[in-house]
Amino acid sequence: MPRVLVSDKLSPTAVQIFKDRGVDVDYLPDLGKDKEKLLSVIDQYDGLAIRSATKVTEKLIAAATNLKVIGRAGIGVDNVDIPAASRKGIIVMNTPFGNSITTAEHAVALMFAMARELPEANASTKAGKWEKNRFMGVEITGKTLGVIGCGNIGSIVATRGVGLKMHVIAFDPFLSEQRAAELGVEKVELDELLQRSDFITLHTPMTDKTKGIINAEAFAKMKTGVRIINCARGGLIVEADLVEALKSGKVAGAAVDVFEIEPATDSPLFGLENVVATPHLGASTSEAQENVALQVAEQMADYLIKGAVSNAINMPSITAEEAPRLKPFVKLAEVLGAFVGQVTEEPITEVEILFDGSTATMNTRALISAALAGLIRPQVADVNMVSAPIMVKERGIIVSEVKRDKSGVFDGYIKLTVKTEKMTRSIAGTCFSDGKPRFIQIKGINLDAEVGQHMLYTTNADAPGIIGLLGTVCGKNDVNIANFQLGRNRPGGDAIALLYLDAPFPEPVLREVNEHPAIQSAKRLQFDIA
């Protein structure tokens, strides 16, 4: 039974779903904050369910020897070292929509709180001061709201702004004019947004490009008296520059839910009256927490039990419905890759994966990942469908995909062609109704070979005596042949033989076979067909 650790505070719904779905679960909501303890137990788990408190560092990933999936109950995965997880073959998934409305509402709440100085007025009134003349707010009606990042949350904030009779302008390189029109917002460039906005709200992910997007230079371009809301990530604003802008009066107010360093127990922002601060509460409503807990547990259980993948950051999605149909073809793609990976001894420069007929309608991204995993496994033992595309890219191998309608006798097949500096090699295969992979063409030579765990592959002259030679050496060395397939391009031309053996072909005998004048090359192969 797979085992999952929940190391941040999650709704009990998640725990119940794991149990109902046959996943063993430990709910230790404070463990995420105890780095050393977490490090000492992480090897016991197949899955790790987190929010933003648990920091999944490279060190933690290195210690997570059994981990297969990290599920983020929420949106931001900047607390997970995704490259390290991917290299280790660990899927990272999030719940991209579950807390969007809640977070957008928090941004709007912060905008009002800041515009009317509600936190200060609340504290003063409760202190018995009745300072009616101290507080003077601003209206938001008719004001310009600048939305930086108009994705799930930003677009909800934008439409709420429109509903509140604000003029909404948005900067997002991926926002189309059509979508902007649907939302009722004006699409602008960043500089224009900075110059025109009365309120600016941030809703981008934290990336190398967005880090510090609001800095002293950006403040200089803004209207004097602008108000800033940040419900996305602390690092988007250079906090020291914000403090200066607030002190100088350039910025009239700031409302921040997120900080450069969290938990933020001390900050120069806290000493300023025109700052409203909340402790990363954007996603904290009972509705959002139910949504993300339920979704993350479903997704993680689906993956651990059925192999279905959804909302993964580092792996193509595979639905629970398609997983059973796809499974034999994933195995096929992997063995095709493994064949080429084992017989190719020089560096591969290019890989082309052709999907013919029915295979072209399948989830080819997943099949490509499987083929690449098989291809580089002979060099990198610890690789899977998550890590293979990255490793292949790191090696500078160019990968291309071709899809085409059914072109031959098979309903569909996959053909893998690899190039090295010196040669091009190809292999094609399909799955029969028994779900088992079959090689149907090697080096352009047709054949029909079942794939076994242990195989011997020879390229040889099409000359009499090869069957006898291979049969005799196997017999002499007590290696039983389960299946023997031959193929040739023309009589007397190039031929291949593929033997499916019950045991590995002995290494010393391989040398003997390779010395035979009719044999160009003999290689023993191994396939994981379980």
Ligand X SMILES: NC(=O)c1ccc[n+]([C@@H]2O[C@H](COP(=O)([O-])OP(=O)(O)OC[C@H]3O[C@@H](n4cnc5c(N)ncnc54)[C@H](O)[C@@H]3O)[C@@H](O)[C@H]2O)c1
Residue written as tokens 């079959």?
438
> Between the CA of residue 162 and those of 109, 169, 174, 227, 262, what are the distances in Å?
15, 10, 20, 18, 32
Identify whether 173 is preceded by a cis peptide bond (ω within 30 of 0).
no
> Between the CA of residue 177 and those of 161, 169, 170, 197, 371, what are the distances in Å?
18, 12, 11, 19, 39
Give the separation between CA 238 and CA 377, rounded to whole angstroms: 44
Mask: binding to ligand X, 54-93, rule CB under 6 A, as x and -? ---------------------xx-----------------
Mask: binding to ligand X, 214-253, rule CB under 6 A, as x and -? -----------------xxx--------------------
Question: Judged by CB under 6 A, which of 52, 102, 230, 299 binds ligand 3PG?
Answer: 52
Residue 101: CB minimum distance to ligand X, A: 10
Question: Judged by CB under 6 A, which of 86, 103, 295, 387 binds ligand X?
Answer: 103
Residue 57: CB minimum distance to ligand 3PG, A: 17
Cβ neighbours of residue 439 closer than 8 Å, sequence gap 6 or more:
336, 339, 427, 428, 429, 447, 448, 449, 451, 498
Cβ neighbourhood burial of 77 (10 Å; 0-12, 13-18, 19+): buried
Kindly tell me the number of DSSP H helices and DSSP E strands found in the chain: 17, 22
Cβ neighbours of residue 338 closer than 8 Å, sequence gap 6 or more:
374, 375, 377, 378, 525, 526, 527, 528
Sort strands 437-442 and 445-450 into parallel, antiparallel or unpaired.
antiparallel
- 148 touches, from ligand X, ligand 3PG, none (C-beta below 5 to 8 Å by class): ligand X
Catalytic member of 192, 260, 262, 290? 262
Give the separation between CA 408 and CA 399, rounded to whole angstroms: 24
Does residue 75 belong to the site contacting ligand 3PG (CB under 6 A)? yes
- Residue 73 or 362: the one with the smaller Cβ distance to ligand 3PG is 73
Token pair for residue 115? 């515009």
Residue 54: CB minimum distance to ligand X, A: 15
Question: Judged by CB under 6 A, which of 2, 32, 71, 74 binds ligand 3PG?
Answer: 74
Question: Judged by CB under 6 A, which of 54, 99, 201, 441 binds ligand 3PG?
Answer: 99
- 98 touches, from ligand 3PG, ligand X, none (C-beta below 5 to 8 Å by class): none
Stretch that binds ligand 3PG, among 282-290, 309-317, 339-347, 372-380 (CB under 6 A): 282-290
Residue 205: CB minimum distance to ligand 3PG, A: 9
- 51 touches, from ligand 3PG, ligand X, none (C-beta below 5 to 8 Å by class): ligand 3PG
Question: Judged by CB under 6 A, which of 23, 148, 323, 330 binds ligand X?
Answer: 148
CB distance 105 to 83 below 8 Å: no
Stretch that binds ligand X, among 31-39, 200-208, 266-274, 328-336 (CB under 6 A): 200-208
- Residue 52 or 204: the one with the smaller Cβ distance to ligand 3PG is 52
Question: Judged by CB under 6 A, which of 79, 95, 100, 430 binds ligand X?
Answer: 100
Does residue 282 belong to the site contacting ligand 3PG (CB under 6 A)? yes
Q: What does the longest C-alpha to C-alpha distance in the chain come to? A: 107
Catalytic member of 160, 203, 227, 233? 233
How many chain residues interact with ligand 3PG (CB under 6 A)? 10
Active site annotation includes 280? yes
Cβ neighbourhood burial of 434 (10 Å; 0-12, 13-18, 19+): exposed
Does residue 357 belong to the site contacting ligand X (CB under 6 A)? no
Catalytic member of 51, 227, 280, 377? 280
Residue 188: CB minimum distance to ligand X, A: 11
Question: Judged by CB under 6 A, which of 205, 316, 504, 506 binds ligand X?
Answer: 205
Q: 268-271: long-range contacts at Cβ-Cβ below 8 A with a sequence spacing of 24 or more?
A: 268/239, 268/240, 268/243, 269/239, 269/242, 269/243
Does residue 437 belong to the site contacting ligand 3PG (CB under 6 A)? no
Q: What is the DSSP letter of 302?
A: I
Question: Judged by CB under 6 A, which of 5, 51, 300, 334 binds ligand 3PG?
Answer: 51
- 341 touches, from ligand 3PG, ligand X, none (C-beta below 5 to 8 Å by class): none
Token pair for residue 457? 């592959």
CB distance 483 to 529 below 8 Å: no
Active site annotation includes 262? yes
Q: What number of residues does the chain have?
A: 530
- Residue 281 or 461: the one with the smaller Cβ distance to ligand 3PG is 281
Residue 355: CB minimum distance to ligand X, A: 30
Q: Cα-flanking dihedrals φ and ψ of residue 448, to 5°?
A: -140, 95
Stretch that binds ligand 3PG, among 16-24, 130-138, 275-283, 396-404 (CB under 6 A): 275-283
- 3-class SS letters over 438-492: EEEEECCEEEEEECCCEEEEEEEECCCCHHHHHHHHHHHCCCCEEEEEEEECCCC
- Asked whether the CA dihedral 302, 305, 308, 312 is positive or negative, the reply is positive
- Residue 42 or 93: the one with the smaller Cβ distance to ligand X is 93
Q: What is the DSSP letter of 424?
A: E
Residues that bind ligand 3PG (CB under 6 A): 51-52, 74-76, 99, 280, 282-284
Residues that bind ligand X (CB under 6 A): 75-76, 96, 99-100, 103, 148-154, 171-174, 203-206, 209-210, 231-233, 257-258, 280, 282-283
Catalytic residues: 233, 262, 280
